[in-house]
Amino acid sequence: MSARTRPRLAVWKFASCDGCQLSLLDCEDEFLTLAGAVQITNFPEASSAVEAGPYDLSLVEGSITTAHDAERIRAVREQSKHLITIGACATAGGIQALRNFADINDFIAAVYASPEYITTLATSTPISAHVPVDLELRGCPINKAQLIEVIAAYLAGRKPAIGAHSVCIECKQRGCVCVMVQGVPCLGPVTHAGCGAICPAYRRGCYGCYGPMESPNTAALAREWQALGATPRDLQRVFRSFNAAAKPFSTESAAHGD
């Protein structure tokens, strides 16, 4: 394809750890092929050649935590035909959304000696709270095979094959023995698929880094956890982590506590 017809790809960063955009560079075998199928026009972490918009496809990492970033995401949306959020920060607010459950001034004072230099919002919010989003890819971090799938689907003009079922299905597909029946509390039954059930394969319970699946029964799972000895504090902590601000998890976490 000539440069003229290849879609223009942009990658944007908001409050995040860089891990999801790194997943693009971690596609070692596919990276050069991908770079040949699109024009990478804005990907500052990987290239100094930064071009102005408009862009055909924008991948957005990170959550909105400053007034400046709330403005910036609107400008990104205006310049982007298709916008995909990548990861738990962009899709649910990320671990930094724990501030939503606390007093931001206490958070700033705990970390910075001169709070007046710091400008930040009291909340960390997902991209969809600010602009329309065409597709949300979950995970902390995203699965790079799913990233390739959504880009390939975009290029082919088809719907990406991304399931919204729970981690339990992937766990069975991987052939793992259920850790809950061995007495290990697991969030797999209420967590969105996509990781490939990594934690059970490593003999630990899922900790929910892909966020809630489409119809999670968190209350029933919380009762199972209690039967295995989990305290209210354990339950509040586990629902209040990398996807704390996702509605089903924030509601469930509020039902437990010290």
At closest approach, how far in Å is the CB of 204 from other proteins? 4
At closest approach, how far in Å is the CB of 108 from other proteins? 7
Amino acid identity of residue 114, one-letter, is: S
Residue 175 as a binder of other proteins (CB under 8 A): the answer is no
How buried is 201 (Cβ within 10 angstroms: 0-12 exposed, 13-18 middle, 19+ buried)?
Answer: middle
Question: Strand pairing of 55-61 and 39-42?
Answer: unpaired
User: Could you tell me how many residues of this chain bind other proteins (CB under 8 A)?
Assistant: 64
Contact 120, 66 (CB under 8 A): yes
The span of 126-134, 166-174, 221-229, 238-246 binding other proteins (CB under 8 A) equals: 238-246
Residue 55 as a binder of other proteins (CB under 8 A): the answer is no
User: Which H or E element spans position 85?
Assistant: strand 80-86
What does the buried/exposed string (b/e) look like for 34-47 if buried means 16 or more CB atoms within 10 Å of the residue's CB?
bbeebbbbbbeeee
> Whose Cβ is closer to other proteins: residue 159's or residue 233's?
233
Residue 178 as a binder of other proteins (CB under 8 A): the answer is no
Residue 230 as a binder of other proteins (CB under 8 A): the answer is no
- Which residues ranging from 196 to 215 are in contact with other proteins (CB under 8 A)? 198-199, 201-204, 207, 209
Residue 51 as a binder of other proteins (CB under 8 A): the answer is no
Q: 47-53 — which CB contacts under 8 Å span 24+ positions?
A: 51/8, 53/8, 53/10, 53/79, 53/80
Contact 138, 211 (CB under 8 A): yes
Is the link from the previous residue into 54 a cis peptide, with omega within 30 of 0? yes
> Whose Cβ is closer to other proteins: residue 5's or residue 117's?
117
172 contact partners, CB below 8 Å, separation of at least 6: none
Residue 109 as a binder of other proteins (CB under 8 A): the answer is yes
d(CA 214, CA 216): 6
Residue 31 as a binder of other proteins (CB under 8 A): the answer is yes
Residue 75 as a binder of other proteins (CB under 8 A): the answer is no
Q: Which residues contact other proteins by CB under 8 A?
A: 13-23, 25-26, 28-29, 31-32, 35, 40, 43-50, 65-66, 69, 94-96, 98-99, 102, 106-114, 117-118, 120, 140-141, 195, 198-199, 201-204, 207, 209, 234, 237-238, 241-242
